[in-house]
Structure 1
């Protein structure tokens, strides 16, 4: 198979320049045909991109950078293409002999200007890949921009996820088309220069914020609830939420409660801002709340978070997120709660965040936020299935089964209510960790998947702040997490990690604020 990219010569960018495209582990040749410019870009766009490269990326190259010299290999055509991917707005030639002619659309329009228009209108576009030979939509997705720096970073993110979708189509895997509404946009609300200036101002403000505060600073909320909880009410109402106090220079996130051997513990990510690497810690809970102190239970040379817990074969297991290490590892509890040993590697050679398992119709399904090395971390859902916990784990027929920043990334344990399967999802439409969705899984098999988000949860009077991205329950104990401002000058070092839980609620309400995004992978 030969793939042909059609791109505008006058607006050649680094992401276009490739000799092959990796499809299911095979390097398929790519030839590039440079065409005439269909429409001009906004004046000064490349100069603004260069300014962003120097200021926002400290001189590091990015996919949206202009190609000053077109490499020779991209100019030579090796033969008639089997597949054409047309990134322009130029009309398709009537004598085209390719068996597949793909054209990406951004909020319903083709070409780079359409993507830029959506970004400048204030949001990343919904991407659709259309087969122009019959007009059918083959894939649809909505990317997340949590690591996109400026206008050029947003464009690079959009095109990276476009290539993810093209690759999935060319793999031959069946695609699942979600119903995703296009963002409401009315054209370019800002000129590119205004957008870039605003982006630089925001970047400077974030740097100042990081100098003064620990960011992002997540915290765990808990409450005992003997009546209907979040899953039944669809909101955060009910008994007031308490906050698990932390030492200030460390944050707590991704709480997972469990009762084992007659004792209840909450396991969570414990990240020291001074080190920038997470470990897994735990604290015991009794009828009145936390008991004793926070205890570290698992540490690796790499970052750990999202300590998913599962009982199987009479033993307790943990799958902490280790996407930075490139695998999904299973740990066995040797001594509860503080001794765990690595037992097996369930999946390797991939970035999969927040692995969460459910058993449905006799089969185990592992959900995770998948990343193919480019684009955001929160918009692509991959599913794997196995008969047994130890595997072998096989990929779902349509991976990635969903590209949607508002409903892809896992946010806690699955829940079955009245024989209906539900999953909490991270809603990153307004930024990483901005809210939660409660999604009903209406179809799930090794070849199918469909979910419907029934409820949307946002921080508010019941849970102040701007972030909310994990929800779990064990018996009467409900846990969530969120973020707040944590000044670096405040003396927290002497505060006991287990002190002041009830009184923390007032303090939390008085310090509500947003946490700035990170320059790399979002810390859970």
Structure 2
């Protein structure tokens, strides 16, 4: 990950992997270590006897045909002859640190060892077992010094599988966050903590593979049929005027006043709503995505004196996808930071003709694939939260923070970046709020699916060196807000807005029937 702290240029690192588990992601790890400043090389350990990964290799091969469509991925096996010879360990190399990816008992050089664990167990077999039988595993990086009797956990996290296809895609997603956590462990200090009890590894058998393949074929058929008649992913915006004390943050549920649905065209979806009360009038900004192009713009509706929303008007469009229109006021002007991860920057826009005319004002952070940037002022500084990735893995599990003394920068990376790798508690879901003297942030819980639920987090530490938060429950759709998912919450003391995932037929008569049946409070 681009936000991970660099390894010391003095670090000499050896990555050890068994030949049966040599995959593209291992090569990417060595390359990432080198980019961070370390002298890193690879050792391929020879597997003796039956190969423990033969069943997994069969499964990955089937997925290539049935799920991945033969697209390349990090879990793809490679042979030693396909490697750049410059990656292989020189004969006279003496490492300071060994990253142990081997599960065959290779004799390692005397050095500090870092070993990834998956639900407490090492090796690719444990990773595949966790993904196959339980879902995304808890990743822990265990550090063992040469004279230690046992290891200590120095970095932990949980990868999001929202963009993963099959077990191979899951390995790719988890491996990308293993690389992030290894870089963090290399730059970190402290003694760490004891590891949690391991979950026993359950080997994947031939019967398991056959059942999985049958399910994959059935799922593919269902998805194909669904997309013939419905849009694959459709979000809608809900809004209501709520008095303080009857809002979601106070109630910690979606009950209270009735939610209104912001009417959308059949071929567009609306998401990421941000309300604003400005110069005596209420506005709602949101992502407006065209299903035909898959590209989002920022649109806005203005409310009249009776509290009724007007038509949606395009407010901001770029050649790249935009979403999550975070709004902030400074010096009597309104600024917006829309998500522009496709352009690899975090940019600030200034309203030149509010509400529907905006101009790109400055770039706050360059060269980063960041989503859902959200700013809060705390103890005299501004802090900007966003989830980041570097082209691999999920979009919702890795939280980075930047801080500044002024909105226009300079913005400096937090000392602990990435401060969190957690698919349930990393991704911003709207504005921070203060209640009872405490600071809170809504987050997306993406454990079961992207935007699967919304979590309430209390910030217990936020400064330039540290960050911590504690969960205070989650909510999801159903009842007052029908639908399977929920991933944005904003309230400005007057207008409260959420969004949610819904069934959306492609044809308007059918869509109208669904709207009448599938409405809040029904």
Q: Which of 139, 143, 152 lines up with 1:127 in the alignment?
A: 139
Residue number in structure 1 paired with 2:7? none
- Sort the Cα spacing of 1:311 and 1:462 in 2 relative to 1 into closer, same or farther, 3 A: same
Q: Answer yes or no: is the 8 Å Cα contact 2:298–2:316 preserved in 1.
A: yes
- Sort the Cα spacing of 1:510 and 1:420 in 2 relative to 1 into closer, same or farther, 3 A: closer
Q: Answer yes or no: is the 8 Å Cα contact 1:329–1:342 preserved in 2.
A: yes
- Paired residues in the alignment total 501
- Sort the Cα spacing of 1:425 and 1:485 in 2 relative to 1 into closer, same or farther, 3 A: same
Where do residues 1-12 of structure 1 align in structure 2 (5 Å cutoff)? 1-12=11-22
Q: C-alpha displacement at 1:169, in angstroms?
A: 2.0
Where do residues 453-472 of structure 1 align in structure 2 (5 Å cutoff)? 453-472=471-490
| 3-state SS of paired residue (1:291) | coil
Q: C-alpha displacement at 1:23, in angstroms?
A: 5.3
Structure 2 CA distance for aligned equivalents of residues 511 and 231 of structure 1: 19
Where do residues 395-414 of structure 1 align in structure 2 (5 Å cutoff)? 395-414=413-432
Q: Answer yes or no: is the 8 Å Cα contact 1:249–1:492 preserved in 2.
A: no
Structure 2 CA distance for aligned equivalents of residues 80 and 365 of structure 1: 42
Q: Answer yes or no: is the 8 Å Cα contact 1:358–1:366 preserved in 2.
A: yes
Per the normalisation by structure 2, the TM-score is: 0.89
Q: Answer yes or no: is the 8 Å Cα contact 2:377–2:383 preserved in 1.
A: yes
Q: Which of 61, 86, 96 lines up with 2:109 in the alignment?
A: 96
Structure 2 CA distance for aligned equivalents of residues 84 and 114 of structure 1: 20
- Sort the Cα spacing of 1:301 and 1:193 in 2 relative to 1 into closer, same or farther, 3 A: same
Structure 2 CA distance for aligned equivalents of residues 420 and 371 of structure 1: 30
Q: Quick check: which one's helix share is greater?
A: 2
Runs of at least 5 residues in structure 2 that lack an aligned partner in the other structure: 1-10
| 3-state SS of paired residue (2:311) | strand
Residue number in structure 2 paired with 1:474? 492
Q: Answer yes or no: is the 8 Å Cα contact 2:16–2:98 preserved in 1.
A: yes
Q: C-alpha displacement at 1:9, in angstroms?
A: 1.1
Q: Which of 24, 38, 44 lines up with 1:28 in the alignment?
A: 38
Structure 1 CA distance for aligned equivalents of residues 520 and 380 of structure 2: 48
Q: C-alpha displacement at 1:400, in angstroms?
A: 0.6
Q: Answer yes or no: is the 8 Å Cα contact 1:174–1:398 preserved in 2.
A: no
Q: Deviations over 1:63-84 (max 9, x none)?
A: 1111134323343426111221
Q: State yes or no: 1:203 paired with 2:220.
A: yes
Residue number in structure 1 paired with 2:345? 327
Q: State yes or no: 1:86 paired with 2:127.
A: no
Root-mean-square deviation (CA), in Å?
Answer: 2.8
Q: Answer yes or no: is the 8 Å Cα contact 1:257–1:265 preserved in 2.
A: yes
Per the normalisation by structure 1, the TM-score is: 0.89
- Sort the Cα spacing of 1:281 and 1:375 in 2 relative to 1 into closer, same or farther, 3 A: same
Residue number in structure 2 paired with 1:164? 180
| 3-state SS of paired residue (2:376) | strand
Q: Deviations over 1:337-377 (max 9, x none)?
A: 01110000000101110000000000000000111322111
More displaced 10-residue stretch of structure 1: 344-353 or 133-142: 133-142
Structure 2 CA distance for aligned equivalents of residues 329 and 252 of structure 1: 22
Q: C-alpha displacement at 1:241, in angstroms?
A: 1.1
More displaced 10-residue stretch of structure 1: 471-480 or 186-195: 186-195
